[in-house]
Amino acid sequence: MTKTNTKKLAIAGVFCAVAVVGSLFSVPVFGSKCAPVQHMVNILCAVLLGPGYGLGAAFAAALIRNLLGIGSLMAFPGSMFGALVCGLVYSKTQNILGTLVGEMFGTAVLGGLCAYPVAILFMGQSAAGLAFYAYIIPFLISTTAGAAISAVLIYSLQKSNILYTMQKSLR
């Protein structure tokens, strides 16, 4: 049991590092930075590690990005909701397409709606001068790109039967 937890924690750390480095390749859209690599990492964590590790990796990546000055406070709602929802969807259904949709819904809708109060409370009224739904569109663009990347990767791993082997080694 401890060996498996150590493996999962190490892999979550690697995914966190990939998300932080991948955030250097972000595109500004309206009030947020679109970082599709974070969403790819969320989905990979959901499929390989589960919702808890995915949420932890998303939080750690958002925190590190903010501490390094390469992210904004929008990184928290923009990554954590998607990680949690897609992790829960995969753990309950084992359906990859549902997991991709869960990431997109969690990030775009739930994360986008929660980004508005974060902008008001922590970034000042001027940062929240956009409409209430203004964060949903940029988050949707980012998560759609990340979901597409992870879909190609996961379906390739699944077709070659590597995905099952990876999942089995982490049980």
pLDDT digit of tens for each residue in the chain (171 aa)? 577 789 999 999 999 999 999 988 877 766 566 778 999 999 999 999 999 999 999 999 999 999 998 878 888 888 899 999 999 999 999 999 999 999 999 999 998 888 877 777 777 655 555 655 677 888 888 899 899 999 999 999 999 999 999 989 888
Tokens of 153: 């990767």
pTM for this entry: 0.88
- Count Cα neighbours of 73 within 13 Å in the Cβ-side half-sphere: 13
State how far the Cα of 78 lies from the Cα of 92, in Å rounded to an integer. Answer: 23
Residues across the chain: 171
